[in-house]
Structure 1
Amino acid sequence: MIDLLSYICLGIGIVFWFWGTSHLLGRRSILFKLHSLSVADTLGSMSIIFGLLLKIPSEWPLLILAIISLAIWNTVLGYVLAYCSSSGDSYE
């Protein structure tokens, strides 16, 4: 049962990766594309890591650290991108 749940999490993670990448082909703004890609990539990566956590429970400290690092890194990167794109003429 745990193996099945692990494979489901791995599959969901891969689906999120491809779903986020599919938004790059749309006609929306670059910021919308980056936001969609980063959210889908974060959720997909976390799902894959959770699937690995179910598969290899002896490595839980490293996998939990990876999940926390993903959440913090992608949140900070999103704020940095939003700040950099919010006002282009503030340095003049």
Structure 2
Amino acid sequence: MINVLSYICIGVGIFFWFWGTFPLLGKRSVLFKLHSLSVADTLGSMSIIIGLLLKRPNEWPLLILGLISLAIWNTVLGYVLAYCSSSGGNYE
């Protein structure tokens, strides 16, 4: 049962990876494209890591560290992109 749940999580993660690339083909702004891509990539990567965690429970410290790193890195990157794209992001 755990193997099936693990494969489902990995499959959902791969689905999110491909689903996040479709907005790149649209005619919206670059920031919208980056946002949707980063959210889908984060969710997909986290789902894959959870699937690996179910499959390899003895590696949980490293996989939990990967989950935390993904969450923090992508949140900070989103804030940096938002700050640089706002009108208040003058560096003069």
Asked if residue 53 in structure 1 is aligned to residue 53 in structure 2, the reply is: yes
For 1:1-92, list aligned pairs within 5 A: 1-87=1-87, 90-92=90-92
Q: Is the 8 A contact 2:14 2:44 kept in 1?
A: yes
Which ranges of structure 2 fall in alignment gaps of 5 or more residues? none
Structure 1 segments (4+ residues) deviating >3 Å: none
Measure, in 2, the Cα distance between the counterparts of 1:78 and 1:68.
Answer: 16
Cα root mean square deviation, aligned: 1.3
Are the counterparts in 1 of residues 83 and 89 from structure 2 also a CA contact under 8 Å? no
Q: How many residues align?
A: 92
Change (3 A) 1:89 1:12: closer
Q: Compute the displacement of 1:89 (Å).
A: 7.2
What TM-score do you get using the length of structure 2 for normalisation? 0.95
Distance in 2 between residues matched to 1:63 and 1:24, nearest whole Å = 29
Q: 1:89 to 1:63 in 2, by over 3 A?
A: closer
- Unaligned regions of 5+ residues in structure 1, if any? none
Identity of aligned residues (%): 83
Structure-1-length-normalised TM-score: 0.95
Note if contact 2:20-2:40 (Cα within 8 Å) is conserved in structure 1.
Answer: yes
